Amino acid sequence: MAIVIVGASLAGANAAETLRSEGYQKEIIMIGDEPDPPYERPPLSKGYLLGNQELDEAFVHPMEWYREHTIDLRLSTSVTALDVGDKRVRLSSGERIGYDKLLLATGARPRPVDVGGARYLRDIRDSKALKSLLTAGTDVAVIGAGWIGLEVTAAARTHGAEVSVVETDSLPLRRVLGDELAAFYRDVHADKGVAFHFGRTVTSSDGASVTLDDGTSVPADVVLAGVGVSPCTELAADAGLEVDNGIVVSESLQTSAPDVYACGDAANWFNPLIGARMRVEHWENARQGGMVAARAMLGQQVSYDWIPYFYSDQYDVGMEYSGWVGPGGYDRVVIRGSMDSREFIAFWVKDSRVLAGMNVNVWDVQDDIRALIKAGYADGATVDLAKLADGEAALDTSLIA
């Protein structure tokens, strides 16, 4: 019997590494349907796509590492069924494997669009193919102005392609950042010559252009769809596990079935610090969740109270974001610094509590931002909003009123 990890992903790799570092000596079997060993996905839309990072740098470990740590890594293999009663999984080869503990790190897949020839960016092959097409003079249509869509837009413009972004909302990233910061990102891209089509959808594509729902024709040699992802929950659902916007897990990342855990993009967990259920589709959640799940499977008392974090690089605008704010969950945004200079920190605040913070081209402040967020959630601590906006005031817990 063994610990079986379904998903040769960043989350799965971090779980396996943590199991070994915590002294687990028994068999670990990691199963992934891609042909490549576990890798980090951010370079696919950032460094590699821009041309300033090699794909080799994205791999979590070289293949030798898995052999050295006696991890049975099975690639190009999928799990087709899970029997939680018999504690076995069935592989695409027909083989059945028993487990003592099972981790579902199945990730997510891009939501499809009904547009012929549309491309998606999720794995290494997607990124390689897309990179070869982003050349000077190419017309690119990006469907969706979320993080992936905007990062691909930035890479395409950097390579000299002409880019049009089609978005159903009135601004990019508005649901995540709100109107003020969404307008900031609109202007960042507009200044680089990106054409936005807000409040529109793509109805068809002919290989040289796309047609919008108002009849507008937009040049498009390449069409990239970035309208979000859906968690891969079919295996869990078919096995009778609770599924609701992801695989439902506790604060220790255990599913509704004994000895079965889930983490990463696919997991909907209860965060005891924030006091809410959440499913987070970012790199750091895969890292942190994999480590917590490993310790939970070893019987340690763990509680996944992580503050969500992600980052994005677009042109010369780099940012880091920490925190979590639900729809309508804040009453104002406080800006420290100058949005015009593109060097500032934005804080999402409710009742004078800092719920989230984003530093834009201002560095080495994440620890301070996260301390304010933790105090706001854990202790209900309020801050002096005038000092929070004052760049001369220390950015630390002395801001707490």
Q: Which of 189, 184, 216, 185 is nearest to 200 (CA)?
A: 216
Spatial distance between the Cα atoms of 347 and 355, rounded to a whole number of angstroms: 7
Give the per-residue pLDDT at 102.
Answer: 98
Residue 228 is encoded by which pair of tokens? 């979000």
Query: Any alpha helices (H) in 262-354, and if so which ranges?
Result: 283-297
Residue 344 · residue 337 · CB < 8 Å: yes
Name the CATH topology of 112-225. FAD/NAD(P)-binding domain (3.50.50)
Domain 316-399 annotated CATH 3.30.390.30 = yes
Spatial distance between the Cα atoms of 299 and 206, rounded to a whole number of angstroms: 56
> For the domain with range 2-109+229-297, which CATH number is right: 3.50.50.60, 3.40.50.300, 3.30.9.10, 2.40.160.20?
3.50.50.60
- 187, 319, 339, 366 from 359: Cα distances, Å: 17, 5, 11, 8
Give the per-residue pLDDT at 125.
Answer: 96
Residues of the chain with CATH 3.50.50.60: 2-109+229-297, 112-225
Whole-structure pTM value: 0.95
Length of the chain: 401
Helix H or strand E segment including 158: helix 147-158
Q: Which of 332, 337, 319 is nearest to 390 (CA)?
A: 337
Cβ-Cβ contacts under 8 Å for 398 (sequence gap 6 or more): none
Q: Which of 250, 256, 265 is nearest to 296 (CA)?
A: 250
Helix, strand, coil percent content, the chain, rounded in steps of 5: 30, 30, 40
CB atoms within 10 A of CB 257: 19
pLDDT, tens only, 107-136: 999 999 999 999 999 999 999 999 999 999
342: alpha, beta or left? (left if phi > 0; alpha if psi -120 to 50): left
- 138, 181, 205, 219, 370 from 201: Cα distances, Å: 21, 23, 12, 15, 37
Residues of the chain with CATH 3.30.390.30: 316-399
Give the per-residue pLDDT at 1.
Answer: 66
Pairing of strands 108-110, 229-231: antiparallel
Residues (pLDDT < 50) of the chain are none
DSSP E strand boundaries for 226-342: 229-231, 247-249, 260-262, 267-271, 276-278, 309-314, 317-323, 332-338
Give the per-residue pLDDT at 327.
Answer: 75
